[in-house]
Homo-oligomer: A and B are copies of this chain.
Amino acid sequence: MKETQLSGDVHSFDRAIALERISARLVQGRTQPEWANMIGPFGGITAATMLNAALTHPDRIGEPVSLTVNFAAAIAEGQFEIEARAARTNRSTQHWIVELTQQGEVAATATAVFGARRQTWGDTEAQPINAAHPEELVPTEYTDVIWARQYDKRFIEGPIPTDGLDRPTSTSTLWIRDLAGRRLDYPGLAALSDAFYPRIFLRRGGFKPCGTVSLTTHFHADPSQLAVIGDDFVLCTAHANRFANSYFDQSARLWSRSGDLLATSHQTVYFKA
């Protein structure tokens, strides 16, 4: 996509995931200041951008089914290149390998599976969360992380602690929506699956050095379900299973207001504590 097409009132999310083809092999993007994390961009925006490299590729078939993004290095402010390659295309599924580089050095890798969805028997076995409506809750301000200012976040449980006290559980549940009214799509869902602050903060009562190393999202929503959500709140819940020897995992579920499980997501995070 040419930069000229992105001027004016284009949402910063769309600027951040926008890619311009610079060769048969590569597209180019640019980090956006609105999506900065403490070091480099928010992992969710990187995941969305790498997914978008496959999604906007002329060879793409089907819709996202799963995405794994591995964060190999901090991404520096400025330009980056992405190579998205369809490693295998079947009749109704497609397998992508995606690499993000800066100055020729790999900063993130990803794989994605795309597929055609057909109507089948279905059931949601995960228990929906009986949460207060977002309208009854107060928005939370994260003042020290720029990307989080792009979302309206309303916690039901597990807000960021600042008291330095250990807690026995790592569950956070919150409603999130894009503050500027961007409608939910697959890149938006990929970003939301990483929109939790690190679980180690909750367990240890405050900031600890850490960074996601691998993020996997399984998409359950089809395009028509996403269309119905529009820019409405999504109910997001996450917890950790085990913290041990420099790494912990996090499992998350993303629900629509009407009780559709939109995605399940799992990550492993490096930490010091």
Contact = CB atoms under 8 A, between A and B. Distances in A.
A191 interface: no
Interface in A162-191: 169-170
B203 A123 contact: yes
A47 to B, nearest CB: 13
Name, among A65, A115, A119, A249, the residue most crowded by chain B CB atoms within 10 Å (CB to CB).
A249
Contact of A118 (B72, B117, B245, B268): B245
A97 B147 CA distance: 29
A136 interface: no
A73 B99 contact: no
Copy tally for this chain in the complex stands at: 2
The interface residues of chain A, by DSSP majority, are classed as strand
Given A125-B241, A220-B247, A111 B68 contact: yes
28 contacts: A65-B213, A65-B268, A66-B213, A66-B214, A68-B216, A70-B95, A72-B88, A72-B93, A87-B106, A88-B105, A93-B270, A109-B111, A111-B111, A116-B246, A117-B245, A118-B246, A119-B245, A120-B272, A123-B242, A125-B242, A214-B216, A218-B249, A218-B268, A220-B241, A220-B242, A220-B247, A220-B249, A242-B264
| 9 smallest beta-carbon distances between A and B, as pairs | A72-B88, A117-B245, A68-B68, A66-B214, A126-B241, A122-B244, A72-B95, A216-B216, A87-B106
